[in-house]
Amino acid sequence: MNNIYDYDEIRNLTIGTVESVSPTEIKVLLEIDAPQSVAINTGVPTHFPKINGYVLIPNEQGAIVGVITWIGIEHSSYPKRNGLKDFDLIDLPFPLRKMSITLLGVLKKKQNNTFEIERGVYSFPSVGDNVILPTNNQLLSIVENSDGKIEIGKAPVAGNASIKVNPDKLFGRHLAVLGNTGSGKSCSVAGLIRWSLEEAEKHKKDDKKNLNSRFIILDPNGEYFDSFNDFGEKKIKKFRIKLDDTETGFEQLKVPAWMWNSQEWINFSQAAPGAQRPLLLQSLVDLKKGEQLQNSNFVRLNGFLSSSKNTLLVYLTNLPNTSNYGPFLGFCSFLQNTSTDIDFHLQFIPSDNLPLTDIYDAMNNQFKRILERRKYEYKGETRFNAFTYEDINSLLDSIESVLTLIKNDETDPSLVNPDMPIKFDLDQLIPYLEQLAQNQGGNILQFVQMLSLRMKFLFSDERLHGVVQPEKDITLIEWLNSYIGSNNAENGQITIIDLSLIPSDIIHIVVAVLSRLTFEAIQRYRRINKQELPTVLVLEEAHTFLRESSFNNNNSNLCLETFERIAREGRKFGLSMVLSSQRPSELSQTVLSQCNTFLLHRIVNDRDQDLVRRLVPDSLSGLLKELPILPSRKAILVGWAFPIPVLVEMNFLEKEHRPRSNDPSFWDVWTGNSEREIDWEKVAKDWQG
């Protein structure tokens, strides 16, 4: 037997016996003489266990650890004492103290006379087994994680023992910090980052080098902007929208439109799947290919002629004639427009390219000659006689001769797809898109113009313009170094991205792009280097972006899809998520189910409580009943990062290090103890730009 007790110890420490056993709950009947408030039989005066306190049940492996979830009194007949004659006593109701406990793990004794807790229970106790008080050393061993490196708080129910966690477990598998407003949720997130980096600073291998750590905070309310100022400018990168060139202390947030993938463009523009979406994607491919070749004019010309050729081929299969006047009129209009566009595209051919100029002129003359030969005037109107198959074939041949001269393997669109982060001129997108639509003929231009109007409206917002089309452009390498970080000490350990000024129409797109670029960069890093680059992505107010609802719009769905992919696959590549939310019931079940550690602050809403009870991996229905009454700074830590569920009082965070999420001081403002100057003129000017 590996029992850590002898029989004398068990007898001296016993406070009750097991009355009933179930997989989720153990009922314990306390002894009549068990202590009421303070026990001294543990060697030192100890508070008798209360709710969330710990007791032990010795067994052959050591001792089963249980947490108290209920304490009460039940009335019964006066207890019959062995060896005494009680026939003269009247059976009156007598109060018996009872409690319920939830089993957490097994406490084992190690060789150096210390103890270690192991999660899970090998065998359940039996009815009548002794329930005993843990000694002080055992109590510390229950709540002190032997694998812990970072202290995050104290255990108030275990003599204020230190609660330490291992960052590999805390951040290695996704973490969810949940709690109502004012419960200390944001301070916990800031504290976990701060305490982790402060402890890592003490243990780094080379004092002259910066920590090789990466935290990327997506902050929709600007709460964390000044929380880490004491770390120094070299360790912190701050990004937000600049409203004025005189603003300092941060950099302009840049998420250039050329970095977006096709799905993000479709969601941004709300392009319809009929005509708008294919033309938009074709425009992106053509412009990105042009940027790569440094010759977007040739790509534009190639796209125009290819589109015209395809349309002519469609008409050639069933050539309209004057007997079917409607389609014939549309066909004549297409030929006229194409001839006009051929004149327009002549400007994109370099004047020194004589072979192309000559063959292009020949194509232009062929179009004009055929149109002129079939044209006639009727009552002041220009009309056309029917075109022959020979006419159309000659036009196709002339177009093909030009395409053959300008086309090569490098201009094959299959080598470039719309998801590649290749630079292109955003100003060319809408004109190029409309030009492609015009080449298609019919009513397609009308549908595309609706798409163009939406895009022009969104791009016209000055706040957005600096984000998606910055005046000073940035390369992909520069973006990765700035936002994710490099080995250079000038690039920080913490990247804070303030999203508070981004228009609501686009904020989901920006968050989706930022998170996707981070994920794909980390993914490619592992593929190339055969090892992970540990990175933590922190999302505040996660319920705003990861809401699982039938009322979601396309943009929020895109954001949800991105984070669900990170939740499922990010850990394999070294990308971990920290989600902070006050409404867990509104969060995606897919994302929450991938979180292995939960730090639960005060949660009052019934739906949120029910969801948390279903998510946590332990049978903690009793322990979680305390969630509605938890005071600020206190939380329940449960999951992979700590051996057993534990109530923790988070370490104190100085005021200057806390996120700016304090409750407003109504009384001090009302009474004049805190002055507030009101100048609505400044607000109006800022508001109206």
> Which carries the bigger pLDDT value, residue 306 or residue 77?
306
Of residues 417, 434, 395, the one with CA closest to residue 300 = 434
How far does CA 499 lie from the centroid of its chain?
14
**Burial class of 399 by CB neighbour count within 10 A (0 to 12, 13 to 18, 19+):** buried
d(CA 358, CA 339): 16
Nearest 5°: CA angle at 670, between 667 and 671? 85
User: What was the pLDDT predicted at 43?
Assistant: 58
User: What was the pLDDT predicted at 294?
Assistant: 42
User: What was the pLDDT predicted at 410?
Assistant: 44
User: At 40, is the pLDDT very low, low, confident or very high (cuts 50, 70, 90)?
Assistant: low
d(CA 582, CA 587): 10
The answer on pLDDT for 293 being more than 50 is no
| pTM recorded for the entire structure | 0.77
User: At 679, is the pLDDT very low, low, confident or very high (cuts 50, 70, 90)?
Assistant: confident
The answer on pLDDT for 580 being more than 90 is yes
Mind listing the pLDDT tens digit for each residue in 474-521? 889 999 988 998 765 455 589 999 998 888 878 888 999 999 999 999
d(CA 139, CA 29): 22
User: What was the pLDDT predicted at 9?
Assistant: 65
Helix intervals (H) in 474-621: 476-483, 507-529, 542-545, 554-573, 589-593, 606-615
What ranges make up the beta strands (E) of 253-389? 375-378, 381-384
User: What was the pLDDT predicted at 53?
Assistant: 84
User: At 456, is the pLDDT very low, low, confident or very high (cuts 50, 70, 90)?
Assistant: confident
β-strands 251-252, 236-240 pairing = parallel
Helix (H, G, I), strand (E, B) or coil at 155: strand
Q: Residue 559: CB partners within 8 Å, gap ≥ 6?
A: 508, 509, 511, 512, 515, 545, 546
The answer on pLDDT for 148 being more than 80 is yes
d(CA 129, CA 525): 56
User: At 94, is the pLDDT very low, low, confident or very high (cuts 50, 70, 90)?
Assistant: low
Of residues 549, 613, 529, 536, the one with CA closest to residue 576 = 536
CB 371 within 8 A of CB 335: yes
Please tell me the number of Cα atoms within 13 Å of 163 on its side-chain side: 28
Q: Which domains, and CATH codes, for the chain? A: 7-143 (no CATH), 165-256+470-662 (3.40.50.300), 262-455 (no CATH)
Mind listing the pLDDT tens digit for each residue in 44-75? 666 677 787 889 998 887 889 988 888 888 77
- 352 to 124, 177, 374, 459, 595: CA distances (angstroms): 90, 65, 34, 37, 63
The answer on pLDDT for 419 being more than 50 is yes
Nearest 5°: CA angle at 243, between 241 and 244? 125
The answer on pLDDT for 86 being more than 60 is no
Per-residue DSSP letter, 240: E
User: What was the pLDDT predicted at 684?
Assistant: 83
d(CA 453, CA 16): 77
d(CA 565, CA 546): 12
CB 100 within 8 A of CB 69: yes
Least confident of 74-83, 157-166, 632-641: 74-83
DSSP string across 623-676: GGGGGGGPPTTEEEEEETTSSS-EEEEEPP--GGGS-S-PPP-HHHHHHTSS--
Query: Which letter, b or e, does each residue of 152-171 get, where b requires 16 or more Cβ atoms within 10 Å of its Cβ?
Result: bbbbebbeebbbbbbbebbb
User: What was the pLDDT predicted at 662?
Assistant: 65
φ/ψ of 230, rounded to 5, equals -70, -10
Mind listing the pLDDT tens digit for each residue in 327-345? 888 888 888 888 888 888 8
Mind listing the pLDDT tens digit for each residue in 522-574? 999 999 988 999 999 999 999 989 987 644 555 558 889 999 999 999 999 99
The answer on pLDDT for 363 being more than 70 is yes
CB 486 within 8 A of CB 207: no
User: At 6, is the pLDDT very low, low, confident or very high (cuts 50, 70, 90)?
Assistant: low
User: Can you give the three-state secondary structure of 105-130, one letter per residue?
Assistant: EEEEECCCCCEEEEECCCCCCCCCCE
Of residues 129, 130, 104, the one with CA closest to residue 117 = 104
Of residues 68, 55, 22, the one with CA closest to residue 130 = 55
How far does CA 575 lie from the centroid of its chain?
11
d(CA 547, CA 74): 46
CB 649 within 8 A of CB 184: no
Q: Residue 337: CB partners within 8 Å, gap ≥ 6?
A: 438, 439, 441
The helices-and-strands tally (H runs, E runs) of the chain is 21, 23
d(CA 20, CA 353): 94
Helix (H, G, I), strand (E, B) or coil at 284: helix
- 307 to 327, 342, 531, 606: CA distances (angstroms): 19, 12, 46, 59
Mind listing the pLDDT tens digit for each residue in 201-246? 888 888 777 888 899 999 999 899 989 988 887 789 999 988 777 7
Q: Residue 497: CB partners within 8 Å, gap ≥ 6?
A: 216, 217, 218, 219, 239, 240, 253, 483, 514
d(CA 179, CA 624): 13
- The mean predicted confidence, pLDDT, of the chain is 82
Percent of the chain with pLDDT over 90: 22
